[in-house]
Amino acid sequence: MAMLTYIEAINEGLRDEMRLDPTVFLLGEDIGAYGGAFKATKGLLEEFGADRVIDTVLAEGAIIGAATGSALAGLKPVAEMQFSDFVSNGFNQLVNVTAKYHYRNFIPVPMVVRLPSGGGIRGGPFHSANTEAWFFHTPGLKLVAPSTPYDAKGLIRAAIREPNPVLYFEYKYLYRHIKSEVPDGDYEVPIGAADIKRTGSDITVITYGTGVHWSLEAAETLSREGVEVEVLDLRTLMPFDRKAVLSSVEKTGKVLIVHEANLTGGVGAELSAFIGAEAFRHLDAPVRRLASPDTPVPYAPPLEDAFLPNAQKTAEALRSLAAY
């Protein structure tokens, strides 16, 4: 076991898979000599060389297109978008080629796109987006969103080994804000498996990424007030763990869905519809959502702080549900 930050766990997962499998290679902007904008690929060029850690031009469409072609040729590319927002420049390649290729031609597309996501680092409207809802709606893509160093390492390894294209959403705020023990050996976190980060009997919070940490802090606050909150970390957004969601909802009867992305049309909307259709008879209150407002992410620190969900807002939403 080693104590690793979230970003160190990603780096170690990439390194371990590259050592195990010579078909794994990395490509992206400034990932080689510079080690990545956030240093997620630090040291990998020195170990594996420029043929496997490739600095690309500033062209996300070219990066995703090259990764897709390489995957079709039998390699396992891991492409980095320097910020999740920039994937919009490669949108056509990703949704019209990568996502549909197996459906059209029955050929595996084993590739990963890493997407540094979210706010809290004062990045402003062009460097802080949470883009998962765009791709949650796109058949052919799998989406994972780790919240801890353990899950970050286990999911990057599972994503690289997956024969389908995987979007790996990683949260910039978490990179160096959290640290925990991570196994040294070979392990995976299965794609499609949620995890109960805290057990409870009164309310279920369904969340992922940064939302997990807000929810855990809020759950501890509510526990001191006599309300026991269960925190279900989806870990995989598509396909999400339907069995785990229903099991928790049936136990508690009240649900709050928390995510950092904008409210309207987000992952929480689909979860709400799913719970309403499949677990309505178990509900003791309407399903509620807590998310960011429907605006771009502000740059000014006070505005960004007001914009983002947090532990206090989560606790307030839980108190309202508890009193329903």
- What proportions of the chain, in percent to the nearest 5, are helix, strand and coil? 40, 20, 40
Is the pLDDT at 294 greater than 90? The verdict is yes
**pLDDT per residue as tens digits for the range 157-166:** 999 999 999 9
Q: What is the pLDDT of residue 1?
A: 87
- Class at the top of the CATH hierarchy for domain 195-322: alpha beta
What is the pTM for the complete model shown?
Answer: 0.97
Any idea where the domains of the chain sit in the sequence?
2-182, 195-322
Q: Is 127 a catalytic residue?
A: yes
Is the pLDDT at 6 greater than 90? The verdict is yes
DSSP 70-137: HHHTT-EEEEEPSSGGGGGGGHHIIIIIITTHHHHH------EEEEEE--SS---TTS----HHHHHT
**pLDDT per residue as tens digits for the range 183-239:** 998 999 999 999 999 999 999 999 999 999 999 999 999 999 999 999 999 999 999
Whether the Cβ atoms of residue 260 and residue 169 lie closer than 8 Å to each other: no
First vs last Cα of the chain: how many Å apart?
Answer: 44
Distance CA 214, CA 218 (A): 6
- What integer is the mean pLDDT of 267-294? 98
Q: What is the pLDDT of residue 58?
A: 96
Cα Rg of the chain (Å, integer): 19
Question: What percent of the chain is predicted at pLDDT more than 70?
Answer: 100
Q: Does domain 2-182 have CATH number 3.40.50.970?
A: yes
Distance CA 68, CA 135 (A): 16
Q: What is the pLDDT of residue 185?
A: 87
Mean pLDDT of the chain: 97
Pick the catalytic residue from 127, 137, 177, 213. Answer: 127
- What integer is the mean pLDDT of 12-30? 98
Q: Give the Å distances, CA to CA, from 1 to 41, 152, 155, 181, 186.
A: 21, 15, 17, 6, 11
Same fold, 2-182 and 195-322: yes
In residues, how long is the chain? 324
Give the pLDDT band (50/70/90) at residue 113: very high
